[in-house]
């Protein structure tokens, strides 16, 4: 009885139907091959982007570390300035308190304070020079870019 049922199952499939199914399987296989190829290309692109991001990571890491260092310097400057402000403030009613503070200092202490103030003056003077230099460079860059813009506008207008 079992052999007879299997024979009947095979008879249900005629040749044309089997050929259609085979063609559908081939199309599905081709589609899957194309999909696998697309996925491999995508993986390759993603790996390439990962490599380029790793390269950028060093630049961003350096920028971050530089910014952290700069922030630390600025925080120290703020702290120092706040301490100086507190020492200068003294009694708000007494406008000349900071002068009396200097009068009470010994000669060595005044020399040390003068050294610190001279160093601060030099540092501020250097910052001022750097700002002037940066302004000059940015001004030159602006004028160059503005001249190029005018030239392009002139070309476009013609």
Whole-number pLDDT of residue 5: 53
Mean pLDDT of 106-110: 83
Residues 148 and 91 in one domain: no
Q: Which helix (H) or strand (E) holds 91?
A: none
Whole-number pLDDT of residue 121: 92
Structural domain of 21: 1-104
Whole-number pLDDT of residue 118: 93
pLDDT over 90 at 122, yes or no: yes
Residues 6 and 77 in one domain: yes
Whole-number pLDDT of residue 62: 78
End-to-end CA gap in the chain: 95
Q: How many domains does the chain have?
A: 2
Residues 77 and 134 in one domain: no
Q: How confident is residue 97, by pLDDT bands cut at 50, 70 and 90?
A: low
Residues 96 and 20 in one domain: yes
Buried/exposed 91-116: b ≥16 CB within 10 Å, e otherwise: eeeeeeeeeeeeeeeeeeeeeeeeee
Whole-number pLDDT of residue 6: 55
Residues 88 and 145 in one domain: no
| Per-residue pLDDT tens over the stretch 10-53 | 656 678 788 888 999 999 999 999 999 999 999 998 888 777 76
Contacts 24+ apart (CB under 8 A), 108-117: none
Residues 100 and 158 in one domain: no
Residues 16 and 59 in one domain: yes
Cα–Cα separations (whole angstroms), residue 76 to 20, 72, 82, 146: 80, 6, 10, 40
Residues 21 and 88 in one domain: yes
Residues 98/90, Cβ–Cβ less than 8 Å:
yes
Calculate ∠ Cα 43-48-51, nearest 5°: 125
Top-confidence residue, 33 or 83: 33
Residues 84 and 66 in one domain: yes
Residues 45 and 122 in one domain: no
What's this model's pTM, rounded to 2 decimal places? 0.34
Top-confidence residue, 81 or 55: 81
């Amino acid at each position: 009885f079992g052999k007879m049922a299997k024979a009947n199952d095979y008879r249900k499939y005629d040749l044309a139907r089997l050929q259609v199914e085979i063609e559908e399987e081939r199309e599905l296989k081709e589609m899957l091959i194309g999909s696998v190829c697309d996925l491999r290309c995508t993986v390759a692109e993603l790996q390439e982007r990962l490599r380029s991001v790793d390269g950028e990571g060093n630049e961003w890491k350096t920028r971050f570390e530089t910014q952290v260092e700069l922030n630390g310097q600025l925080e120290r400057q703020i702290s120092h300035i706040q301490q100086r402000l507190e020492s200068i403030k003294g009694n708000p009613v007494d406008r000349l308190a900071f002068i009396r503070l200097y009068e009470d200092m010994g000669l060595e202490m005044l020399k040390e304070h003068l050294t610190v103030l001279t160093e601060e003056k030099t540092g501020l003077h250097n910052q001022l020079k750097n700002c002037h230099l940066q302004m000059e460079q940015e001004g030159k860059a602006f004028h160059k870019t503005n001249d190029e813009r005018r030239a392009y506008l002139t070309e476009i207008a013609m």
